[in-house]
Amino acid sequence: MTPFQFRTVPHIVSAPGAAGELARHASPALRGAKRLLVVTDQGVRGLGLLDKALEGLEADGYAVHVYDKVVADPPESVIFQAVSEGREFGAQAVIGFGGGSPMDTAKVVALLLGSDQPLDDMYGMDRVKGPRLPLVLIPTTAGTGSEVTSVAVITTGATSKRGIAAAPLYADMAVLDADLTLGLPKHITAATGIDAMVHAIEAFTGKRFKNPVSDALALAALKMLHTHLERACKDGSDREARAGMLLGAMLAGQAFSNSPVGGVHAMAYPLGGMFHVPHGLSNSVVLPPVLRFNASAAEAPYGEIAGHIGLEASSAGLIAEMDRIAQAVGIERRLSELGISHNDIPAMAEDVAANDRLLPNNPRPMAYGDIVAMYEEIL
């Protein structure tokens, strides 16, 4: 058997309503910290998702400062602003509360408040020295899995994004409260849910770091997500479906944090970077051509996935089912529906071809011409 390593967050709490009892659940992870910086965004705050958590924390004697100005695709300026507010407040621990952007921001803020390593030195793989402040992450969408990954993605220029991937980014605790996801609109539920399925598919077919633990998690994730995605889209108040999606996204996050994503994410990044298409939607749109392209090199794992979720055990079975799901949940299928035209393809394809972090994980090598052809296919 090929040697491997597997890491994840050491303490996970999954319970409906857990956010309202955050003080009790998070207390071991906070290691005595009494001054908490909560990192979130205005959408989450406006929906009142934080209210119960804040009430509970304050009733238990915690002093809390809320930084709620995280934006999608967070730039460095947001990180620095949160760090400066946290420092002024005397924060002793950080709580990330929201979708991928607030959680990624919280990870980096906890590092910057806990050590004097400059942000610029942290980008890349395993460059973070730590230590960091105690960190608890609470997702309010079911997709990114960021609550259990060791990655944070930051926007560093007009269109460019950089990642920080290192073990100190694993939080001390992830708290899964499916009630927080009950109000997610159908379109976001669909796109983020398909993104979570992509995490599991890409982890299971990863060329470099695929391992028995990430494989088991990826298959469990796919079963959970496949069972609940359409139900959650059809009836957002279906608590069992919401819990299944949140758990499935977390399992997929554990899988891809150890066996990283490949060609689908590489093809999705320029849609976000250049056209601000949300991450989940970008992945959903580019998934079909990449699955078809990879099929010749990934017949066995695609077939295994398809069989595991009750389909005909072949790549054709998986491809047809992912197409059917995209149609059933009403997700966009074409780049032109997202305002992307033929003339944009060369620059996008160049960006993908230069992605030497993700392309080596893809089961089949992807050259510039292949990438152009795949974008053309879905124009």
Residues that bind Fe ion (CB under 5 A): 195
* Cβ 71 to Fe ion shortest distance, Å: 18
> Cα separation of 184 and 171, whole Å?
24
> Please, what is the minimum distance in Å from the beta carbon of residue 31 to Fe ion?
31
Output 92 or 149, the one with its CB closest to Fe ion.
149
Dihedrals phi, psi of 124, to nearest 5 degrees:
110, -165
By beta-carbon proximity to Fe ion, the closer residue of 122 and 153 is 153
Cβ-based nearer residue to Fe ion, 92 or 155: 155
User: Count of alpha carbons within 13 Å of 252, Cβ hemisphere only?
Assistant: 30
| Residue with Cβ nearer Fe ion (172 or 195) | 195
Contact 276, 256 (CB under 8 A): no
Q: Give least dist CB 279 to Fe ion, A.
A: 6
Name the residue nearer to Fe ion (CB basis): 41 or 195. Answer: 195
Measured from the CB atom, the residue of 149 and 211 that comes closer to Fe ion is: 149
Q: Answer yes or no: are the C-beta atoms of 39 and 70 closer than 8 Å.
A: yes
CB of 232 to Fe ion, least distance (A): 18
d(CA 331, CA 288): 12
**Smallest distance, Fe ion to C-beta of residue 174, A:** 17
33 or 191: CB nearest Fe ion: 191
How far out from the chain centre does Cα 203 lie? 13
Q: Which residue is nearest to Fe ion (CB)?
A: 195
Q: What's the helix, strand, coil split of the chain in %, to 5?
A: 55, 10, 35
Q: What angle do CA 343, 279, 364 make, to 5 degrees?
A: 70
Cross-strand pairs, 14:
176
Query: What minimum distance in Å lies between the beta carbon of 290 and Fe ion?
Result: 13
Distance CA 227, CA 325 (A): 11
**Between residues 97 and 269, which has the closer beta carbon with respect to Fe ion?**
269
262 Cβ contact list (under 8 Å, min separation 6): 202, 205, 206, 207, 358, 359, 361, 362, 363
CB of 301 to Fe ion, least distance (A): 18
Q: How far is the CB of 265 from Fe ion (least distance, A)?
A: 6
Q: Which is nearer to Fe ion, 287 or 335 (CB)?
A: 287
Question: Shortest distance, CB of residue 257 to Fe ion, whole angstroms?
Answer: 11
In 3D, which of 77, 80, 50 has the Cα closest to residue 65?
Answer: 50
Kindly report the three-state secondary structure assignment for every residue of 153-181: EEECCCCCEEEEECHHHCCCEEEECHHHH
Q: Return the number of the residue (104 or 195) whose C-beta is nearest Fe ion.
A: 195
> Measured from the CB of residue 42, what is the shortest distance to Fe ion in angstroms?
23
CB atoms within 10 A of CB 257: 27
Sign of the torsion formed by the C-alpha atoms of 84, 85, 90 and 93 = negative
Q: What are the two backbone dihedrals, phi and then psi, of residue 93, each rounded to the nearest 5 degrees?
A: -155, 160
How do beta strands 151-155 and 161-165 pair?
antiparallel
